[in-house]
């Protein structure tokens, strides 16, 4: 662990919901969605929280974003306790912590232009838009790989992958330090998903964001995480550096989870790479057009 | 388009031909801009006991293909070409005949079991109802027994008691088992599963895929698995059709297509799939552009 204070630290977080029917009489045992969870996110790193449905990973994300108050436990941001932050302190926290949601269409108003969507967080926070809305939006669009000339288009005019880029641009608008990605690439087609993962990684490399990456897809997590926390029934059952968790899982549940993931036969992958290399070699040969050495494996 | 294995077209014509034979299947919709084809000249065979995967990204036409086979296209959609099931042509078949084939001999499993089950009826009643509607001269009591047996076959424990439970009393994975039980009770010759595990947790997904595999080996039913997930297809099926914007990009044996893809699109798709056992620096995504869902006229 580094000596530097983490960007974010959650300690002994608990979230209980009153369960079911007994309602006002309130004798029913509350349901513990998050059960004594402690986690840290450092600058420039990605903590992936993985788990199946009902594991408490999304509730954890909501607690960290302060979209929901914990039943007990503390939240610290850059060393300051923000568990009960209000007013100006909460506003500062909101500017520093942004969330990217799963479904870009339902989290973006289809009748708003990109410019309006992207500048909205600043408008809500009563902040001045540096350089004016138009220029500001265009710059952000460029950063997330969208055509800046489309800033006047409506959210509904974009494809799923483009819409998710708008969601990312909106998150970037306030200059955050911690970005919570709640299943941010889960709804995307595989080719688009890969592009968005690359974008998230590039942005992190450039800006040093900390990511809290909530996901159920372990193959995606393998590509993006620095550290992994595995959740089951509200608790973290295993946590560690990515490759350690994937290659030497300790907990039974982690092992079961990893084993269940469908895999493309690695032998087929090897043969494909070979065939591709041979093909590329041939093309290169054809390009130089000098000799006709058959470079086949 | 490229093919790597057995050229279709060489259908034997005897009863020993493939279970399902699709030729030149085209699905079009009338739109304000004129007719648009969402599936174009599709061809494939499913042998008895065989498993075929149809993969593609959104807008590829893979789901429309299954609806066209079943004659369940939404309003305004028409299918042309040939779909021969056990020798009988399904395209142009009367609604009444089609209904007998569908459900009875071809079973369909959808992505979301909750929206396919009626929350107001006990699951056993629903399985029995489906059975009764396709089998004449069966008593309710017999149908109930069939329901219990079907639930046992998909490994729902305590089926005799669970048969009287309502859908909400089951987990997502259990509900999908019930849908499979419903399909199984008809003893179908062909099962079409459209994203059957997409809404399920990964551990549950593994169980359901195992179950489909088990059913196929036990009953000899053919399987068409429609999915966006290349890893799932690679584990479950032996033949694959890769679709994109209604076109067949590539077709062949799974191992062949995965280890030496001929189409550029297949190659790029395989590159984009994140591998759980391999962390790579940058995912290769050499600009796969997905055409606007049919709107850009082709």
Interface confidence (ipTM) of the complex: 0.82
List Cβ neighbours of A87 (8 Å cut-off, separation of 6 or more): none
Q: Is A214 an 8 Å CB contact of chain B?
A: no
Q: Does the residue A131 lie in any domain?
A: yes
Give the structural domain span for A67.
Answer: 8-21+28-250
Q: How far is CA A109 from the centre of its chain?
A: 21
Q: Is residue A37 included in any domain, yes or no?
A: yes
Residue B157 counted as domain residue: no
Total number of domains in chain A = 1
Average pLDDT over residues B5-26: 68
Interface of B with A in 89-108 (CB under 8 A): none
Backbone region of residue A233 per phi and psi (left: phi > 0; alpha: psi in -120 to 50; beta: other values): left
Nearest by CB: A191 against B258, B272, B276: B272
Measured between CB atoms, does B205 come within 8 Å of chain A?
yes
In sequence order, what E strands does chain A have? Answer: 8-17, 31-41, 46-50, 72-77, 80-81, 97-100, 178-182, 210-215, 227-232, 235-241
Measured between beta carbons, the chain B residues lying within 8 angstroms of A243 are 279
Inform me whether the pLDDT recorded for B11 exceeds 60.
Answer: no
On whether any CB of chain B is under 8 Å from the CB of A220, the answer is: yes
Q: What per-residue string of b and e applies to B91-112 under the rule 16 or more CB within 10 Å gives b?
A: bebeeeebeebbbbbbbbbbbe
pLDDT for the residue numbered A3: 57
Task: Please give the DSSP secondary-structure letter assigned to residue A157.
Answer: G
Report whether A26 contacts A216 (CB < 8 A): no
A229: CATH: 3.40.50.300
Mutate to test the interface with A, among B114, B199, B285 (most CBs of A within 10 A): B285
Mean pLDDT value across residues A249-259: 96
Asked, for residue B82, whether it belongs to a domain, the answer is yes
Kindly tell me if the per-residue pLDDT of B2 is higher than 60. no
Let me know if residue A100 belongs to a domain. Answer: yes
Residues from chain A that touch B259, judged by Cβ atoms under 8 A, are 267-269, 271-272, 275
Question: Is A119 a domain residue?
Answer: yes
Both tokens of residue A37? 């969870």
- The stretch B54-69 carries a mean pLDDT of 92
Is B270 in contact with A223 (Cβ distance < 8 A)? no
Residues 6+ apart with CB under 8 A from B81: B22, B23, B24, B25, B26, B41, B42, B91
B54 lies in some domain: yes
pLDDT interval class at B10 (50, 70, 90): very low
Q: Which domain holds residue B296?
A: 18-105+229-298
What per-residue confidence (pLDDT) applies to B251?
Answer: 97
Nearest alpha carbon to residue A189 among A276, A113, A260, A104: A104
pLDDT band at B289 (very low <50, low <70, confident <90, very high): very low
Per CB-CB distance under 8 Å, the chain A contacts of B206 are 259-260, 262
Residue A257 in contact with partner chain B when CB distance is under 8 A:
yes
pLDDT in tens, B141-186: 999 999 999 999 899 999 999 999 999 999 888 998 999 999 888 8
* B228 pLDDT more than 60: yes
pLDDT of residue A105: 78
Asked, for residue A242, whether it belongs to a domain, the answer is yes
CB A157 within 8 A of CB A117: no
Query: A-chain residues within 8 Å CB-CB of B285?
Result: 191, 194-195, 198
Query: Do the chains contact at B230 and A264, CB–CB below 8 Å?
Result: yes
Cα–Cα distances (Å) from B114 to A183, B105, B110, B123, in that order, read 22, 23, 10, 11
Q: What percent of chain A has pLDDT over 70?
A: 92
- Does A290 score more than 60 pLDDT? no
Among B172, B201, B269, select the one facing A190 at the smallest CB separation. Answer: B269
Q: How far apart, in whole angstroms, are the C-alpha atoms of residue B37 and residue B22?
A: 17
Percent of chain B residues past pLDDT 70, beyond the cut: 88
Which has the minimum average pLDDT: A202-216, A225-239, B127-141? Answer: B127-141
Within a domain: A290:
no
Lowest mean pLDDT among A40-54, A76-90, A189-203: A189-203
Contact A159 B292 (CB under 8 A): yes
> By C-alpha distance, which of A35, A31, A45 is closest to A14?
A35
Q: Say which CATH number the domain at B248 has.
A: 3.40.50.300
- At B15 the pLDDT is 54
* Number of domains composing chain B: 1
In this predicted structure, the answer to whether residue A263 has a pLDDT above a threshold of 70 is yes
Average pLDDT score, chain B? 86
pLDDT digits (tens, 9 = 90+) for A120-175: 989 988 888 989 999 999 999 999 999 999 999 998 888 888 999 999 999 999 99
Spatial separation of the C-alpha atoms in residues B61 and B50, rounded to whole Å: 22
Q: What is the mean pLDDT of chain A?
A: 90
Residue B162 lies in a domain: no
Distances in whole angstroms, Cα of residue A288 to Cα of each of A275, A292, A293, A294, A296 = 20, 9, 11, 13, 17
Flag whether A272 is in a domain: no
| Mean pLDDT, residues B63-90 taken together | 93
pLDDT at residue A33 tops 50:
yes
Does residue B137 fall inside a structural domain?
A: no
The DSSP output letter for A6 is P
A122/chain B closest Cα distance in angstroms: 32
Residue of B nearest to A272 (CA): B259
- pLDDT score of A107: 83
Chain A residues 26-55 with a CB less than 8 Å from chain B? 52-53
Tell whether B86 is covered by a domain. Answer: yes
- What confidence score (pLDDT) does residue A106 get? 81
Say which residue the tokens 């669970």 belong to. B162
CB of B1 within 8 Å of a chain A CB? The answer is: no
When pLDDT is averaged across residues A242-251 and rounded to a whole number, the result is 96
Residue B79 belongs to some domain of the structure: yes
Q: What are the helix (H) ranges across A40-156?
A: 57-64, 87-96, 104-107, 114-124, 133-143
pLDDT at B58: 87
Tokens of A48: 């992936």
Q: Between chains, do A223 and B274 touch, taking CB under 8 Å as contact? A: yes
Residue A56 lies in a domain: yes
């Amino acid at each position: 662990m580094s000596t530097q204070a983490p960007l974010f630290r959650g300690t002994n977080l608990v979230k209980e919901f009153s369960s079911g029917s007994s309602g006002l009489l309130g004798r029913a045992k509350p349901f513990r969605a998050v059960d004594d969870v402690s986690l840290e996110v450092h600058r420039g790193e990605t903590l992936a929280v993985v788990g199946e449905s009902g594991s408490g990973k999304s509730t954890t994300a909501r607690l960290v974003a302060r979209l929901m108050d914990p039943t007990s436990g503390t939240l610290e941001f850059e060393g300051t306790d923000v568990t009960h932050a209000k007013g100006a302190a909460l506003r500062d926290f909101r500017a520093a912590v942004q969330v990217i949601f799963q479904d870009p269409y339902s989290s973006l108003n289809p009748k708003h232009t990109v410019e309006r969507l992207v500048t909205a967080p600043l408008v809500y926070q009563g902040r001045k838009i540096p350089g004016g809305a138009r220029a500001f939006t265009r710059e952000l669009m460029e950063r997330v790989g969208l055509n800046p000339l489309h800033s006047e288009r409506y959210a509904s005019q974009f494809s799923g992958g483009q819409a998710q880029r708008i969601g990312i641009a909106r998150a970037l608008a306030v200059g955050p330090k911690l970005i919570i990605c709640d299943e941010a690439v889960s709804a995307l087609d595989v080719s688009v998903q890969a592009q968005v993962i690359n974008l998230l990684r590039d942005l992190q490399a450039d800006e040093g964001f900390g990511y809290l990456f909530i996901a159920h897809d372990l193959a995606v997590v393998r590509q993006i995480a620095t550290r992994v926390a595995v959740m089951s029934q509200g608790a973290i059952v295993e946590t560690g550096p990515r490759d350690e968790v994937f290659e030497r899982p300790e907990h039974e549940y982690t092992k079961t989870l990893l084993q269940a993931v469908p895999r493309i036969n690695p032998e087929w992958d090897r043969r494909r790479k070979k065939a591709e290399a041979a093909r590329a070699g041939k093309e290169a040969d054809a390009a130089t057009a000098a000799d006709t050495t058959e470079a086949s494996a | 388009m490229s093919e790597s294995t057995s050229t279709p077209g060489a259908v034997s014509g005897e009863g020993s031909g493939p279970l399902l034979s699709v030729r030149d299947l085209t699905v079009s919709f009338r739109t304000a801009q004129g007719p648009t084809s969402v599936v174009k000249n599709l061809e494939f065979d499913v042998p008895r006991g065989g498993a075929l995967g149809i993969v593609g990204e959104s807008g590829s036409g893979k789901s429309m293909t299954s609806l066209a086979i079943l004659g369940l296209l939404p309003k305004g959609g028409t299918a042309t070409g040939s779909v021969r099931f056990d020798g009988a042509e399904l395209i142009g078949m009367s609604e009444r005949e089609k209904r007998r084939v569908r459900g009875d001999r071809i079973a369909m499993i959808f992505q979301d079991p909750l929206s396919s089950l009626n929350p107001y009826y006990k699951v056993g009643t629903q399985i029995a109802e489906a059975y009764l509607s396709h089998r004449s001269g069966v008593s309710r009591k017999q149908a109930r027994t069939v329901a219990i047996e079907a639930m046992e076959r998909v490994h729902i424990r305590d089926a005799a008691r669970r048969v009287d439970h309502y859908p909400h009393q089951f987990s997502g994975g259990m509900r999908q088992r019930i849908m499979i039980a419903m399909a199984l009770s008809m003893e179908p010759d062909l099962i079409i599963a459209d994203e059957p595990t997409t809404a399920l947790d990964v551990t549950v997904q593994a169980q359901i895929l195992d179950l489909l595999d088990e059913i196929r080996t036990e009953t000899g039913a053919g399987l068409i698995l429609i999915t966006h997930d290349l890893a799932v297809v690679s584990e479950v099926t032996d033949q694959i059709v890769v679709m994109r914007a209604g076109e067949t990009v590539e077709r062949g044996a799974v191992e062949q297509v995965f280890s030496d893809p001929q189409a550029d699109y297949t190659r790029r798709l395989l590159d984009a799939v994140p591998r759980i056992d391999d962390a790579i620096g940058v995912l290769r995504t050499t600009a796969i552009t997905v055409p606007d869902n049919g709107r850009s006229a082709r």
